[in-house]
Amino acid sequence: MMEIPVYTLDAFTNSPFKGNPAAVCPLIRELSDDLYQKIAVEMNLSETAFITRINQSDDFTKENINPTLVFETRSGELAVTRKGEGYVMDFPLNPPTQEDPNEFRDIIKAAVGNHPVQDVYLSSNTEKLLVRLADSCDRSVLTSLKVDPVTLQSSERSGRVKGLILTIKGSPNCQPGYDFYSRYFAPWYGIPEDPVTGSAHTVLGSYWSKKLGKKKMLAYQCSSRGGELELEVRDDGRINIAGQAVTVLQGSITL
């Protein structure tokens, strides 16, 4: 019999049941791919992370003031640094390129209906399509959109899109001063809508940094759970994405 510790964390929030829920399983040894999949299915969350120590001296506890750990993930290295009450993640920046809206008119129609669109950009590296609603649309327009995942998935015929970002300009003069808002949909990966999406902000950060002329931004993802992200676009082609996290469940998996 084996027991595996498991934690459920809500990320990009300081309140339980908000932000992005994820399961984290610290491991003493590697498991089989089949077992990873079964545990992830059992947890039934968008993300389940399994952590093993490469260097046994690594320590990421509250007793350490500002430790930085580098995680070797299947998507590459991810550096995480504790900062105050939150954490800062070091991601590659993914600048999108402007596209002809007509090439994606069906998917845009499926997502936003007849609302006016100001910009359409695509990040080929991440296969994420960014659609910016016109500035005449406020936050309520974005949050009220009813996006059907089946219709959305079937309307994409270019073969270039695996994720859809909807975004509008924020209200930096109103507290807490969000620079932009967004929502993210990925039915192509079985995710009708992701609560809060770090990878989408590697695209959003690049886009809005240029549009707003700012390196540091505060973003809010307007899913039903909602999440807040602090962004810093760096000159070395990378982006820092920071947020808080709360633990809402702690237990063990018995195998």
CATH of the domain at 160: 3.10.310.10
Q: Specify whether 113 is located in the same domain as 188.
A: yes
Which of 69-73, 140-144, 166-170, 190-194 is the least confident region?
69-73
At residue 4, does pLDDT exceed 80? yes
Predicted local confidence at residue 174, as pLDDT: 78
The pLDDT-based confidence of 248 (bands split at 50, 70, 90) is very high
Same domain, yes or no, for 210 and 134? yes
Domains of the chain: total: 2
For 79-90, what is each residue's pLDDT tens digit?
899 888 899 999
pLDDT at 55: 66
Query: Domain check: are 55 and 102 in the same one?
Result: no
Identify the weakest region by mean pLDDT among 4-13, 71-80, 95-104, 224-233: 71-80
Query: Following DSSP, what letter does each residue of the chain receive, concatenated?
Result: --EEEEEEEEES-SSTT-SEEEEEEEESS---HHHHHHHHHHHTSSEEEEEE-SSTT---STTSSS-EEEEEETTEEEEEEEETTEEEEEEE----EE--GGGGHHHHHHHHTTS-EEEEEEETTTTEEEEEEPTTS-HHHHHH----HHHHHHH--SS--SEEEEEEE--TTSTT--SEEEEEEEGGGTEEEESS-TTHHHHHHHHHHHHHT-SEEEEEE-SSS-EEEEEEE-TTSEEEEEEEEEEEEEEEEE-
- The model's confidence at residue 181, banded by pLDDT at 50, 70 and 90, is very high
pTM: 0.90
186-204 residue pLDDT tens: 999 989 999 999 999 999 9
The answer on 228 and 248 residing in a single domain is no
Q: Which positions ≥6 away from 153 have C-beta within 8 Å?
A: 187, 188
Query: pLDDT by residue (tens digit) across 9-66?
Result: 999 999 999 999 999 999 988 899 999 999 999 999 988 999 887 765 555 554 554 5
Do residues 134 and 164 share a domain? yes
Do 84 and 146 share a domain, yes or no? no
- In this structure, are residues 171 and 140 in contact, taking their beta carbons and an 8 Å threshold? no
Do both 84 and 133 map to the same domain?
Answer: no
The pLDDT value recorded for residue 85 is 86
Catalytic choice (3, 30, 42, 47)? 47
232 is catalytic: no
Clarify whether residues 70 and 163 are in a common domain: no
Position 75 confidence tier, pLDDT thresholds 50, 70, 90: low
Same domain, yes or no: 40 and 54: yes
The verdict on 250 and 232 lying in the same domain is: no
The predicted model gives 98-119 an average pLDDT of 97
pLDDT of residue 234: 97
Q: 215 lies in which domain range?
A: 97-240
Domain co-membership, 212 together with 121: yes
Residues 232 and 174 in one domain: yes
